[in-house]
């Protein structure tokens, strides 16, 4: 029997646009305050833009920064009030105090169906690996990219992804675990930063028998990772599960009551222990499924038994 815990609501609200596609939660210091930040990729099925949002732990206040396009990820940096963002087809920084967007590089991809999706900071904070997705979720027209801070150089690492999602680095950054959602596997890659190359090393976790699609993923330490599962087929409870990356063994799971489309996990070191934070989405959920999913699109938090969270990377500008 797999140990199972139940998550509870952390950030709730009544604005429908906020619930459409929240992803990529991270801890950050915003305006001098301890906060959780995430992206809402877009606000409706045909919306051309999204937002960065923040939840301040001290006051439980929620704040939004509306963006001119659709963001795929947001990472904390070592510059005050500044986050690193993948925005549609560009990467750059956004100053949350002034609203100033500074693009660093633009993708060499003009296909109107591809936009930046999930990413991860390479250990050391001086590079980022991220992917793109086909917004129709139908063809492998997305790619994996590497961006390095030292020279602002952008390189394609691997072609042929449909919806590039969760990523975890291991072995000091020499191993990358990656999810291309429609494949329903966690793929292991050998990553060579200096050569700007990626080498396929096979399937680490086979999830093809799971009823839902693997989406975001985070490092859980000790050679394990937590995978969020997005279930488009039904309403009700959603799940995130911890797997051993070396064997594919399922270790434990967390459930999100009334929210089946779990998009991304984050292990967060908090004063009362290590918490698992989970973003969820509605993303155009039909009315019959929504009736069974009263908490769809909300952000959840759950207790864990982890003694400490893995070291969180930041982008070092």
Residue 160 burial (CB count, 10 A)? 11
pLDDT value, residue 190: 98
Asked if residue 177 lies in contact with residue 186, where contact means CB atoms within 8 angstroms, the answer is yes
Asked if residue 242 lies in contact with residue 253, where contact means CB atoms within 8 angstroms, the answer is yes
For residue range 258-305, what is the model confidence (pLDDT) as tens digits? Answer: 999 999 999 999 999 999 999 999 998 999 999 999 999 999 999 999
Residue numbers of the chain with a pLDDT score lower than 70: none
pLDDT value, residue 231: 98
pLDDT value, residue 307: 96
pLDDT value, residue 80: 95
Token pair 């309403």 in the structure block, residue: 235
pLDDT value, residue 54: 98
pLDDT value, residue 139: 97
Asked if residue 148 lies in contact with residue 127, where contact means CB atoms within 8 angstroms, the answer is yes
Q: Which residues pair with 163 in a beta bridge?
A: 133
pLDDT value, residue 18: 98
pLDDT value, residue 77: 98
- pTM equals 0.98
C-alpha dihedral sign at 54, 142, 112, 134 = negative
Give the homologous superfamily in CATH for domain 4-303: TolB, C-terminal domain (2.120.10.30)
pLDDT value, residue 38: 98
pLDDT value, residue 187: 98
Q: How far apart are CA 145 and CA 157, in angstroms?
A: 5
pLDDT value, residue 252: 98
Asked if residue 113 lies in contact with residue 134, where contact means CB atoms within 8 angstroms, the answer is yes
Per-state percent for the chain, helix, strand, coil, to nearest 5: 5, 55, 40
pLDDT value, residue 68: 95
pLDDT value, residue 294: 97
Q: How far apart are CA 284 and CA 44, in angstroms?
A: 7
């Amino acid at each position: 029997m797999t140990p199972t815990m139940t998550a509870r609501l952390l950030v709730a609200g009544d604005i429908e646009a906020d619930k459409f596609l929240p992803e990529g939660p991270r801890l950050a210091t915003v305006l001098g305050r301890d906060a959780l930040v995430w992206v809402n990729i877009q606000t409706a099925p045909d919306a051309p833009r999204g937002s960065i949002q923040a939840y301040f732990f001290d006051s439980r206040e929620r704040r939004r920064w509306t963006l001119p396009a659709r963001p795929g990820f947001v990472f904390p940096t070592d510059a005050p009030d500044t986050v690193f963002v993948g925005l549609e087809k560009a990467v750059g920084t956004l100053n949350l105090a002034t609203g100033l967007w500074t693009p660093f590089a633009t993708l060499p991809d003009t296909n109107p169906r591809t936009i930046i999706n999930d990413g991860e900071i390479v250990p050391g904070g001086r590079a980022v690996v991220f992917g793109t997705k086909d917004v129709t979720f139908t063809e492998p027209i997305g790619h994996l990219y590497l961006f390095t801070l030292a020279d602002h150089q952008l390189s394609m690492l691997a072609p042929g992804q449909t919806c590039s999602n969760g990523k975890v680095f291991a072995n000091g950054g020499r191993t990358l675990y990656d999810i291309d959602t429609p494949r329903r596997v966690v793929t292991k890659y050998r990553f060579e930063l200096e050569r700007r190359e990626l080498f396929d090393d096979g399937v680490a976790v086979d999830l093809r028998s799971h009823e839902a699609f693997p989406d975001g993923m985070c490092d859980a330490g000790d050679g394990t990772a937590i995978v969020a599962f997005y279930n488009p087929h039904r309403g009700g409870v959603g799940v995130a599960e911890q797997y051993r990356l070396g064997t594919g063994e399922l270790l434990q799971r967390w459930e999100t009551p009334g929210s089946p489309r779990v998009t991304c996990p984050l292990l967060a070191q908090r004063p009362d222990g290590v918490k698992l934070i989970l973003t969820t989405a509605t993303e155009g959920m039909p009315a019959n499924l929504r009736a069974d999913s009263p908490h769809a699109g909300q952000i959840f938090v759950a207790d864990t038994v982890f003694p400490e969270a893995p070291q969180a990377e930041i982008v070092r500008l």
